[in-house]
Chains A and B, each alone.
Chain A
């Protein structure tokens, strides 16, 4: 059914496709397989989510439920809107002044785009790890304790000590627990007061994960967390992601399909123009995709 439509949506990426019919807009193509039933509650459910950057319509009517305590991979060619979608889940898109979001995203059944949402609270519950490691130019300890200190969960410093509420011991515990959680403790336990910028790229990225864990989030969003790393560091991050899924809901953006196949429980495929095309069990998506376009993409015909 989808042969002709496949070529149309792919025309940006594949100018060589010959059957392109000019004048057909992307909206006319509605071959989506996004029904996906899973047990248990949905952590996120997005309904008819649209995003514009200025005049650029970056996401089209995304409707998706993301299950709790599992790894969900978002894959697709570059420019397909998967990172944009990710940034909608903790409203980091609000920081881009030209961005406009319409539609609904619910976290545990609560709408995060309604008025009065406390962004601080939202981002405490939904942490994020970025594409390239971005530790603060502070010590490793200060990087981990950053979030809890800012939220007043841990008070150190002169004033706290004078008022009798010094949380040094709790901070030590927290730093160790988070570093262990991010599989970094063994490597840095003897130099917690060194500047984090002295770590290697892979260590920096795990530090960023540890930093996110310190805020005690429910969800961790990862935006191609291994794209700037070498293969060994990448495999460490991948192992870590699988472990994290026991306690956290992980949503990970990647353009590396092997990576998605290895670590995720379910996969959502975005294709050019900001459309969600197919969503389902990772095994099923990779072994038996419903959509011709997804099959083309996965088998490497484009993207």
Chain B
């Protein structure tokens, strides 16, 4: 039990969930065929706003994190209204530039503590442990200490948020909105001609991506106690992009798988830590050359569904035939 509840493993699980949320954020923008490299920037806004609110103003966490997301969303409006007029490469560069501007601004403001970053951000698990102590569970329950209990409940809360987002994304893809997104992704002109307000839907997708990235930033800040401008630089933007490129951006499971693999990979391949960026770079090139749609695409899902169906059919048939022969 203690082995499984090792704080290190618990921390990794938390990071996997945070990265999965980031994967969903890039999936939402990519659902309309827009490549936004600004999600690291939106994440940093969410992280800084919510961390400053809890750290300096004493705002409770459950208010601070959504406010961080809203701030990212607001920023997305400022940057998004001019940039969603742009397509493809222009949008990618403009959003990359936006991330860079955010980083430089954070580096220079006094309230964000410049290059040193913010430290001592109230940690979610510590907060929850305190709550548990106040509830009279100072000794812990079921062999778990209060600290472990705090960590477990953080994971629980994160998992609920992730589950909700996945549910939302799945519902989205079968809704009117999702079909409009898919139409824009397939062919923007055709979508416009058939009466879809492409500008509105692209902006909406951009906002949703920014909001989710902001939430992920706020949550990440309250898990790690420290954030600095370096955490949200170019490499972060590339890493978030990798989730979608490796896993695939057609279906929501793609970025989820991508974030799971890419968060576990450096932990499993400890010896390869120094080569991590090189491996990432190689993955990007190889994926683009051999499987640009990512590991999971709609075809993959269909294939496995069919296979599993036929397998279960075959096994039931086998069962029947065995019974009859007996």
Q: Do A and B bind each other?
A: no
